[in-house]
């Protein structure tokens, strides 16, 4: 009971600090006004804590899945390093969080995705520390959760495992950048047209660029998943990844 009330209190305080006046891939360092930087940090933090607990519980339950967790991290690491040219004439990179989400659930990938973002902001000046909260929320919270629900949805509808994996990874990727556009539009509404005008603008930059990359990410995730299905069937069963028919 006490625990619950603390959580409620946390979110109430969170609502209070939602900046009323907003001046807003990865959002560059310093490019999010202070109030928004703090706000997104505060939103992401609980997910990070839950994610850490989730990973610990999963690994304790099935220690043999540690290698798979490493693979999920490595996959996100590689994919987010690949800046791929896109049809809009600019480049962006996949997120790689879909694979780990299907294997370990969305919360676990919150931690993994945030670590990747931290690495990029510290060593590559890509993204930033002040904007890490916001970037982690889009790539490591929203992306995995979208991927998770798409995967579950596609499985319930009865689509094939490969198709579910593909859609899950692709939409997780695309969703990440839609959320980024929302974050930027919230912080930087246009003088004329406000939030919607800004959102269209940012979404035009991020989301369009991202469509071919989302497809690529979906395909790559299917490739890795097919390998896992062949060689790591027992672990997939432990993590309850495969639906009953696929088993």
Enumerate residues 80-139 that contact another protein by CB under 8 A. 80-92, 119-130
**Under 8 Å CB-to-CB from 107, ≥6 apart: which residues?**
47, 50, 51, 53, 54, 55, 144
Minimum distance of another protein from residue 242's CB (angstroms): 17
Binding range to another protein, per CB under 8 A, among 2-10, 40-48, 136-144, 189-197:
189-197
Nearest residue to 182 via CA among 103, 174, 171: 174
**Residue corresponding to tokens 């094939």:** 160
Binding range to another protein, per CB under 8 A, among 6-14, 52-60, 79-87, 167-175:
79-87
Minimum distance of another protein from residue 67's CB (angstroms): 6
Nearest residue to 73 via CA among 117, 128, 113: 113
Alpha-carbon 200 to chain mean position: 21
Minimum distance of another protein from residue 30's CB (angstroms): 3
Structure-block tokens of residue 14:
């969170």
Enumerate residues 213-242 that contact another protein by CB under 8 A. 213, 215-216, 219-220, 222-224, 226-227, 230-232
Minimum distance of another protein from residue 115's CB (angstroms): 12
Structure-block tokens of residue 73:
């991290």
CB 111 within 8 Å of CB 51: yes
- Interface with another protein (CB under 8 A), residue total 72
Exposure string over 59-71, b if 16+ CB within 10 A, otherwise e: beebeebeebbeb
Minimum distance of another protein from residue 2's CB (angstroms): 37
Enumerate residues 21-40 that contact another protein by CB under 8 A. 23-31, 33-34
Check binding of 17 to another protein (CB under 8 A). no
Binding range to another protein, per CB under 8 A, among 46-54, 102-110, 145-153, 212-220:
212-220
């Amino acid at each position: 009971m006490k625990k619950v009330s603390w959580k409620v209190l946390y979110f109430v305080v969170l609502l209070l600090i939602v900046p009323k006046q907003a001046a807003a891939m990865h959002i560059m360092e310093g490019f999010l006004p202070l109030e928004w930087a703090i706000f997104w940090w505060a939103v992401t933090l609980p997910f990070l804590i839950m994610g850490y607990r989730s990973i610990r519980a999963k690994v304790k339950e099935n220690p043999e899945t540690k290698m798979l967790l490493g693979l999920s991290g490595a996959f996100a690491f590689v994919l987010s390093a690949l800046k791929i040219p896109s049809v809009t004439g600019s480049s962006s990179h996949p997120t790689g969080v879909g694979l780990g989400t299907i294997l370990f659930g969305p919360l676990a990938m919150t931690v993994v995705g945030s670590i990747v973002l931290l690495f990029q902001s510290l060593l590559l000046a890509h993204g930033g520390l002040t904007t890490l909260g916001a970037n982690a929320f889009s790539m490591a919270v929203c992306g995995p959760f979208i991927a998770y629900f798409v995967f579950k949805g596609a499985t319930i509808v009865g689509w094939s495992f490969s198709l579910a994996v593909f859609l899950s990874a692709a939409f997780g990727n695309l969703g990440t950048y839609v959320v980024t556009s929302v974050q930027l539009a919230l912080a930087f509404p246009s003088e004329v047209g406000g939030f919607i005008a800004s959102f269209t603008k940012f979404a035009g930059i991020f989301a369009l660029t991202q469509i071919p990359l989302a497809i690529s990410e979906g395909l790559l995730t299917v490739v890795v998943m097919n390998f896992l299905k062949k060689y790591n069937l027992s672990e997939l069963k432990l993590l309850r990844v495969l639906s009953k028919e696929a088993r």
